[in-house]
Amino acid sequence: MDLDDRFDALNRSETPDQWFDIATRTPGRNVPETMPKPLRYAGVAALSLLVVAGIVLPLKVLVPLGDHDKPLGPAGTADQSGSPVGVPDVGVITCDKGTPGVETPSVQAHVDGVHLLIPSDDRRMEVRLHPLLEIPGFDPGSDDQVWSEDNAVDPNAWVVNLPPGDYLAICDPDSSVTSHEVMSGKALSAPLTIVDPQGFYAPFADLACPDPEAFYTGVPFPELNPLENADAVLRRALVGIQAADEIVRAGYGIDSTARGWQLLSWQVVRGDRRMVATVTAHSAADETGETLSFEYQACSGSGIGSAANDPGVAHGVGNPDAPLATPYEVPGYTRCDPYDGATCVPVWVTWARLGTLSDQPEVQKGLPDGSGNLPWCPSDSPRGCTFDPDLQPMILFMPAADAERWFQAEGCGRSYDAICSGVSGKPADEA
């Protein structure tokens, strides 16, 4: 069987009818709930819409901030770190009757990207930015487009990860303008320059190979040690990274909000300075919880992403053969690999509770000292590193028998609502 036969098989596949779902998403438009020629309906997909997203843990993952941990300054003003006077930090793009314009010929980047504002217009427009020059490692189309009415009020609503450089802004009512039409001048455009005087943007480099492979993996948030920096998390999550490999951030850095991880990209550099892999991290949630997901591309032969059991599927939920175990252990109870699925039972504890039970160094490092700050907190940290370990929920995965023994002995931990706190073992809000 060749590829074309397989695509033929795909094109014979049954498809669900989503028209009822479409009708329910368009109230007031009198869309009939059935089609004149209904397609076969499989049912599963529509039922899936009834699934409600489950709990999302408020875990904060700390990563090195370095120069990127700077406050955002007001628009059009100089700050104390040397930003140029007069260059606004919010760009304004207009689409007057479809004609693009910029009120800010230049805009300076924030720590989390470039903030753009599109004043409301009578007509809904797709606004895109096209780079004048090719940008290494940058994927056009991934984060360079917004609908005008979604961005008319809040200048933080459109934060793009566009590198510093020169761009052409276009207003495209039906997403039909091609990059060729923009670059050849056949489509109306307005120039916009992005500047980055504070060096928030770390440039991408091209991979050393022209034909990388794509991989995915993820770490459930309850397994993330909030003290691990991104380097440690990536080394734990990705298969095949060598000890001497350097993990270098790319793109814009993290901001101080919960969406920080979604903005991060990384590159893996070998000793000969060749870029052998790029990684993009983002959080993803479904009914079973929240996961830090990684999508990465790696050069063949680099060893990255090549798990012995199944190349291309490094490890992750649903792959019980993969060797990634929860890092936390409690004496007297057996640790369970969460990727073994149904045999593992979650036991909910706060970090404070975990700290009374485990002498693992990484757990102890998560307990604040007498000042209330985490012990590793840099002395010059502007915000300090205060941390209440009883507000930090964690999950210990155990085999069912061990988990039941825990529940009986401790009287807590069956759920987030019954989490074991560090004070008495009772739920945190009762302790």
Residues between 164 and 193 with contacts to another protein, criterion CB under 8 A: 173-180
Rounded Cα distance between 390 and 101, Å, is 52
Q: Does residue 34 interact with another protein by CB under 8 A?
A: no
* Smallest separation, CB 399 to another protein (Å): 24
Pick the piece of the chain touching another protein (CB under 8 A) from 36-44, 196-204, 341-349, 381-389: 36-44
Helix, strand or coil, per DSSP, at residue 364: helix
Report the site for another protein in 230-269 (rule: CB under 8 A): 262
Q: Does residue 30 interact with another protein by CB under 8 A?
A: yes
Rounded Cα distance between 106 and 88, Å, is 7
C-beta of residue 159 within 8 angstroms of C-beta of residue 107: no
Q: Does residue 142 interact with another protein by CB under 8 A?
A: yes
Q: Does residue 139 interact with another protein by CB under 8 A?
A: yes
* Smallest separation, CB 7 to another protein (Å): 4
Among 75, 227, 285, 385, binds another protein (CB under 8 A): 285
Q: Does residue 208 interact with another protein by CB under 8 A?
A: no
- Parallel/antiparallel/unpaired status of strands 190-195 and 106-108: parallel
| CA separation, residue 78 to residues 83, 89, 92 (Å) | 5, 10, 18
Torsion of CA 115, 119, 123, 126, to 10 degrees: -10
Q: Does residue 48 interact with another protein by CB under 8 A?
A: yes
The three-point CA angle 205-211-214 to 5° equals 85
* Smallest separation, CB 123 to another protein (Å): 6
* Smallest separation, CB 40 to another protein (Å): 9
Q: Does residue 99 interact with another protein by CB under 8 A?
A: no
Rounded Cα distance between 135 and 113, Å, is 16
Question: What residues have CB less than 8 Å from 245, skipping those under 6 apart?
Answer: 268, 269, 270, 271, 276
Among 33, 103, 154, 310, binds another protein (CB under 8 A): 310
* Smallest separation, CB 316 to another protein (Å): 5
Among 214, 258, 391, 409, binds another protein (CB under 8 A): 214
* Smallest separation, CB 51 to another protein (Å): 8
Quickly count: other Cβ atoms within 10 Å of residue 424's Cβ. 14
Q: Does residue 297 interact with another protein by CB under 8 A?
A: yes
Rounded Cα distance between 161 and 137, Å, is 12
Q: Does residue 33 interact with another protein by CB under 8 A?
A: no
* Smallest separation, CB 411 to another protein (Å): 32
* Smallest separation, CB 210 to another protein (Å): 8
Pick the piece of the chain touching another protein (CB under 8 A) from 26-34, 64-72, 348-356, 358-366: 26-34
Pick the piece of the chain touching another protein (CB under 8 A) from 17-25, 112-120, 222-230, 355-363: 17-25
Rounded Cα distance between 323 and 340, Å, is 10
Residue type, 238: L
Nearer to another protein, 298 or 428 (CB): 298
C-beta of residue 204 within 8 angstroms of C-beta of residue 137: yes
- Tokens (6 digits) for 235: 């080394």
* Smallest separation, CB 345 to another protein (Å): 20
Helix, strand or coil, per DSSP, at residue 353: helix
Site string for another protein, 104-123 (x = CB under 8 A): -------------------x
Q: Does residue 132 interact with another protein by CB under 8 A?
A: no
Q: Does residue 306 interact with another protein by CB under 8 A?
A: no
Among 39, 78, 391, 400, binds another protein (CB under 8 A): 39
Question: What residues have CB less than 8 Å from 52, skipping those under 6 apart?
Answer: 287
Among 121, 196, 231, 295, binds another protein (CB under 8 A): 295
Question: What residues have CB less than 8 Å from 293, skipping those under 6 apart?
Answer: 216, 217, 218, 281, 282, 283, 284
Q: Does residue 284 interact with another protein by CB under 8 A?
A: yes
Pick the piece of the chain touching another protein (CB under 8 A) from 65-73, 281-289, 348-356, 371-379: 281-289
Among 69, 213, 337, 340, binds another protein (CB under 8 A): 213
Q: Does residue 49 interact with another protein by CB under 8 A?
A: yes
Rounded Cα distance between 115 and 106, Å, is 12
How many separate helices (H) and strands (E) can be counted in the chain? 8, 16
Which DSSP category does 350 fall into? E
Nearer to another protein, 11 or 408 (CB): 11
